A and B are shown apart, each in its own frame.
Chain A
Amino acid sequence: EVQLQESGPGLVKPSQSLSLTCSVTGYSITSNYWGWIRKFPGNKMEWMGYISYSGSTSYNPSLKSRISITRDTSKNQFFLQLNSVTTEDTATYYCARVPFNWAGPYYFDYWGQGVMVTVSS
């Protein structure tokens, strides 16, 4: 069974970078797409981006040049880096698997439990 687990610091200072790891078991990240989603206090959810089985990426334009998603296939992990964070980036961050077909990636099927990240000085 596919399992995903997020890890990383729960507290980040404003202007610094947020870095999270998603460790995947039961499935190779060289298959499918793999994404990041966040849920803000107040429950709004935002798709942040994903990385494909080949390593190509797609990001939410709202995050502009602040976001980077990378991977380490040898460890079956993928990563989120969000630069220049502000208090507005306080959220629970989830990683998820994104299946795909001939038309492209579609929805998120398996999710991690999420990790809460607070941006505060």
Chain B
Amino acid sequence: DIQMTQSPPSLSASLGDKVTITCQASQNINKYIAWYQQKPGKAPGLLIGYTSRLVSGIPSRFSGSGSGRDYSFSISNVESEDIASYYCLQYDNSPWTFGGGTKLELK
């Protein structure tokens, strides 16, 4: 199985900050990575697919990049509604595997 190492596990930010989360795969995943946001008690919501493709309706302050084994997800100008947990998912190889998650909190 491909291991997805997501960091940091938690992140504290002020409103307006830029934050970055990384996921490192145990092997090349050919840009087949998606990013999700989850708020407590809610379903995960898809934000980005195929490394950097923003889902329709998602604000442009969210972005993704990377290649090979290393990928990142950023939020520029953090807003209060962004307080949530974030997960990466690799779907290059079966079984698909998730990162461990990052909890974003307000400083």
Contact = CB atoms under 8 A, between A and B. Distances in A.
Interface of A: 43-47, 58, 60-62, 94, 105-109, 111-114
Contacts of A111: 43-45
Interface of B: 1, 32, 34, 42-46, 49-50, 55, 85, 87, 89, 91, 94-98, 100-101
B42 A43 contact: no
B94 A109 contact: no
Interface centre among B1, B50, B94 (most CB of A within 10 A): B94
Contact of B98 (A47, A58, A62, A106): A47
Contacts of B34: 106-108
B91 A106 contact: yes
B49 A45 contact: no
Q: Identify the 5 closest CB pairs spanning chains A and B, nearest first.
A: A111-B43, A45-B98, A107-B34, A47-B96, A60-B95
